[in-house]
């Protein structure tokens, strides 16, 4: 058995396990003890994820994983037709040469994907319209470049739902004004899939960053995979530990957005990503957009493929049918 948590950070790639030179300075003491045969116990019962999500972890990393009774019969995510969603797209990534990801020591820039930024803003707003607040949601991405783009987009957007998911209903009802809402404003949580055992959400000061979200959890996790290129290069996302963290943070709902083909054909890590995508495909969890359902008219469903579709199909979080239609 090996440790399946993210490894410690080493600034010199030549000294890492991945390089294969035998230095292995990013192998933790805990992992070293396990490999030397020291007695240890593995916890097998999980109390976090609904069984549909834990099934992904069980298939890829933890075959012995058992679901606690408390994980069963969780409520479905309101406004969606599925609780696990992979949104496939083919919009290409960009390079931010002003940012170098510390987790990818061979890279001289960081990645971003503007299509995913636009879609995620609409997805988060839509979830807010279903009644979910900032404590219910988190946005994860592997890349500092994408994290910065998301943060900038959220900061520029003046939509009261996005800016404060917890008070937008009060604003809309006229019970409080926007100035009053600013006093208790809570930003949407953003974080990278990080290197350490602690985590930090990004609110307003990126200088305080410690890019990771390994030990935290949330009801709904929205993941921007970012990578989308013709070379099928997924960078450090080949890491099975990173994929494990990405999949295991959500309690009730998991939404991933990325280029399925880039990850399925990855030059490194394609076996594990292909297994995941095959599982998702078999479970009918892969979509060309966000699969939504009107909570007032459950027979009204749609696939929202572009950010503009949210404004035309469900501007208020419902559908285009009159309220009295059943």
pLDDT at 213: 46
Any domain includes 326 = no
pLDDT at 104: 61
- 252 and 224 together in one domain: yes
Any domain includes 320 = no
pLDDT tens column, 285-298: 999 999 999 999 99
- 38 and 53 together in one domain: no
Look over the chain and give the mean of its residue pLDDT values, rounded to a whole number. Answer: 82
- 252 and 308 together in one domain: yes
116 — phi, psi (to 5°)?
Answer: -65, -35
How many CA atoms are closer than 13 Å to the CA of 137, on its beta-carbon side? Answer: 28
Structure pTM?
0.80
- 123 and 270 together in one domain: yes
- 85 and 161 together in one domain: yes
**Across 75-79, 179-183, 318-322, least confident range:** 179-183
Stronger pLDDT, 186 or 249, i.e. the higher one: 249
Confidence of residue 7 (pLDDT cuts 50, 70, 90): low
The alpha helices in 106-259, defined as continuous H runs, are: 114-129, 144-156, 160-163, 168-172, 178-183, 240-247
Tally of structural domains, the chain: 2
- 112 and 255 together in one domain: yes
Q: CB under 8 Å to 201, separation ≥6 — which residues?
A: 138, 189, 190, 191, 213, 216
Any domain includes 321 = no
How far apart CA 144 and CA 147 sit, in angstroms, is: 5
Confidence of residue 214 (pLDDT cuts 50, 70, 90): very low
- 148 and 22 together in one domain: no
How far apart CA 48 and CA 70 sit, in angstroms, is: 8
Any domain includes 177 = yes
What average pLDDT does this structure show over 188-208? 47
How far apart CA 111 and CA 170 sit, in angstroms, is: 37
Statement: residue 42 has pLDDT above 60 = yes
Confidence of residue 211 (pLDDT cuts 50, 70, 90): very low
| Domain span at 283 | 47-313
What CATH number is associated with residue 139?
3.40.50.300
Any domain includes 212 = yes
How many CA atoms are closer than 13 Å to the CA of 271, on its beta-carbon side? Answer: 4
- 14 and 152 together in one domain: no
- 38 and 122 together in one domain: no
Any domain includes 302 = yes
- 95 and 148 together in one domain: yes
Any domain includes 319 = no
What average pLDDT does this structure show over 3-31? 73
Give the other-Cβ count within 10 Å of 326's Cβ.
8
How far apart CA 146 and CA 158 sit, in angstroms, is: 20
- 294 and 272 together in one domain: yes
- 103 and 201 together in one domain: yes
């Amino acid at each position: 058995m090996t440790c399946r948590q993210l490894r410690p950070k080493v600034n010199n790639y030549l000294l890492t396990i991945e390089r294969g030179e035998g230095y292995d300075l990013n192998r933790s003491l805990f992992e070293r003890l396990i490999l030397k045969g020291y007695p240890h116990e593995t916890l097998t019962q999980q109390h976090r994820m609904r069984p549909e999500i834990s099934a992904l972890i069980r298939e890829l990393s933890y075959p012995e994983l058992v679901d606690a009774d408390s994980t069963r019969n969780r409520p479905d995510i309101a406004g969606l037709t599925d609780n696990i969603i992979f949104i496939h797209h083919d919009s290409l990534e960009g390079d931010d040469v002003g940012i170098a990801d510390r987790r990818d020591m061979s890279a001289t820039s960081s990645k971003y994907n503007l299509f995913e930024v636009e879609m995620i803003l609409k997805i988060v707003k839509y979830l807010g319209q279903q009644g979910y607040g900032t404590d219910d949601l988190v946005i994860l991405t592997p890349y500092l470049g994408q994290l910065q783009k998301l943060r900038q987009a959220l900061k520029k957007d003046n939509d009261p739902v996005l800016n404060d998911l917890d008070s937008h209903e009060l604003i809309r009802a006229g019970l409080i004004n926007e100035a009053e809402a600013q006093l208790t404003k809570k930003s949407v949580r953003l974080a990278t899939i990080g290197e350490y055992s602690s985590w930090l959400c990004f609110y307003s000061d990126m200088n305080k960053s410690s890019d990771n979200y390994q030990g935290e959890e949330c009801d709904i996790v929205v993941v921007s995979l970012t990578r989308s290129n013709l070379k099928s290069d997924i960078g450090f996302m080949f890491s099975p530990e990173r994929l494990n963290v990405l999949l295991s943070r959500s309690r009730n709902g998991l939404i991933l957005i990325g280029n399925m083909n880039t990850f399925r054909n990855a030059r490194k890590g394609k076996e594990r990503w292909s297994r995941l995508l095959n599982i998702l495909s078999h479970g009918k969890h892969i979509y060309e957009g966000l699969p939504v359902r009107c909570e007032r008219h459950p027979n009204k469903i749609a696939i929202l493929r572009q950010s503009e579709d949210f404004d035309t199909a469900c501007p208020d979080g419902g559908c285009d049918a009159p309220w009295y239609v059943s």
